[in-house]
Amino acid sequence: MNIVIIGGVAAGPKVAARIMRNDPKANVTVVEKGKFLSYAGCGLPYYVSGVVKTQEELMSTPVGVMRDPVFFQKVKNFTIKNFTEATKINRAEKTVDIKDLNTGEESSLSYDKLVICTGASPFTPPIDGADLDGVYHLHGIEDAEGIKARLAEKKALDTVIMGGGLIGLEMTEALAEHGCRVTVVEMLDHVLPIIDPEMATLVEKHMEAKGARVMTSTKVTAIKGEGKVSAVVTDKGEIPADMVIVSVGVRPNTALAKDAGLELGKRGGILTDATMLTSDEDIYAAGDCVEPIDLITGEPTFVPLGSTANKQGRVAANSVCGKNDAFPGVIGSSVCKVFDFTVARTGLTDKAAKAAGYDIVSVIAPGPDKPHFMPGAAPIFLKLTADKDSRRILGMQAVGPGDGDKRVNAAAVAITAGMTVDEFAQVDLCYAPPYSPAMDNALVVANVLRNKLDGQYKSAIAQEIKPWLDSGEAVLLDVRSPGEREQMLIEEALWIPLGALRSRTAELPKDKRIIPFCKISLRGYEAALILQDAGFEDVVVMDGGIITWPYKKTVK
């Protein structure tokens, strides 16, 4: 069986290697227009920062063997033609036209089965100056080398990153490691649209504490320079820039598939069934060029990740070889490192859940990722969202220096299994002090959400609270210690330390909503219990505490 695979970075080599394990007699050829093969694209920010020392590390096996055409031929027994572009798919003839980019020679490959793994390309906004010297994307090793060269020549002291998504924020840390003054410009009202605004606020504050400037709700209108970049023009003024990193998302590479008449999906990716079969019975597709299904909403989505590409690649290979396998879909599980913070998310954000028609309930539960007495214990903010009627978990988000990723991974399993918040709260997770509290953070946030669903606990995020304050229907109650208040305060908040609250409840109006808070609102919850016991009927805890308050605060 002749099998041709177009694309040799993520999904393509996975498809080829799996086919050869299934059918060692298969004749497999991979066509890749670039030089570099099977490299870890998600490692590029860490190559720029210097954590990864050489580009070879991104393209090597765990024992240090380079994944080049010779390796794939001798070890995996399939052929890779790099520097070779697939120019046309001829479905009737079952051939692929190819062009050698070194010699210009054109030829064709015949196939019994074809697998398209063409990936995605970075989107370049239609603005003046996007082609100036010093403007980069970060989509391949060539891009990383260009950025590293500029850094080595000390030509990038002022750097602007257009886009506050995963790659943009990972690059912020990488560039800061080189001593750059970094400004992140994001058109939306918060960075990281994969999480909700109140969680993103924590990330933004951490970035600013590390020296990065964050400008949200800001649109880039042009890039200025005479031959090379000198400034970025926004609707809020100009920003000096020696280098610009454009990180505003990617688009699936579907030109070959479209020209061949294959069906595309609503999101612009190649449409496949669960076996990764396209609208042609002899053509499969996998990776960032494909449009998967969101397992929660059942709707098409586009979440380009190397993890998904590898899973789809395995399914496509099994399907090509006649094995029964299926790729069910995705739930958007993602994680990134932003300086000292882990930022992770799975399932739906509140905004996405509401847009999908769910009546949601969510909570934020902060706490240390290990018992407080253990060295290295670090805080995590976990947010859990569920459907109000069915109590089914819809999403989890984690932000903070603690181990949030493993809690989010647990939630990903729960969401995939369709678990309710009550079922999740009873999952038998591992416990030992070096690894977690006796009641793991994931179980704590599930129990808090159960309380809220059952009407035993009320909470709201800052963005919900602000209109109540502006209308005069609510009062903020600060229950922190005097020392904490000296460091940071919300001036309009009443202040009664938690230890004095029972004896001073008469100072609070019973005809208004009382909103207690502390640094992270653990004591805010204790205050709510005291107030309810004292006869206050309308008490709402500020989710996440003063740390998540995005409005004016006085810092001393």
Catalytic residues: 42
Pairing of strands 474-478, 513-517: parallel
Contact 245, 137 (CB under 8 A): yes
Rounded Cα gap, residues 160 and 144, in angstroms: 16
Closest C-alpha to 23, from 11, 15, 12: 15
Contact 45, 51 (CB under 8 A): no
H runs (alpha helix) in 123-252: 141-152, 166-176, 197-209
The set of residues, in sequence order, having a beta carbon less than 8 Å from that of 64 and lying 6+ positions away, is: none
Residue length of the chain:
556
Rounded Cα gap, residues 254 and 256, in angstroms: 6
Token pair of 361, please? 């309930």
Residue with tokens 């980069």: 136
Integer CA distances (angstroms), 123 to 162, 246, 286, 408, in order: 11, 8, 20, 29
Burial class (CB in 10 A: 0-12, 13-18, 19+), 102: exposed
Contacts 24+ apart (CB under 8 A), 61-70: 67/13, 67/37, 67/38, 67/39, 68/37, 69/37
Rounded Cα gap, residues 551 and 488, in angstroms: 13
DSSP string, 479-526: ---HHHHHHEE-TTSEE--HHHHTT-GGGS-TTSEEEEE-SSSHHHHH
Closest C-alpha to 386, from 432, 428, 448: 448
The set of residues, in sequence order, having a beta carbon less than 8 Å from that of 301 and lying 6+ positions away, is: 267, 291, 292, 293, 294, 330, 332
Token pair of 335, please? 């994680």
The torsion angle over the Cα atoms of residues 21, 22, 25 and 27, rounded to 10 degrees, is -80
Rounded Cα gap, residues 134 and 230, in angstroms: 9
Rounded Cα gap, residues 519 and 126, in angstroms: 43
3-class DSSP assignment, residue 20: helix
Rounded Cα gap, residues 13 and 81, in angstroms: 12
Rounded (5°) CA angle 447-453-457: 75
Token pair of 162, please? 């257009």
3-class DSSP assignment, residue 293: strand
The torsion angle over the Cα atoms of residues 338, 462, 458 and 535, rounded to 10 degrees, is 140
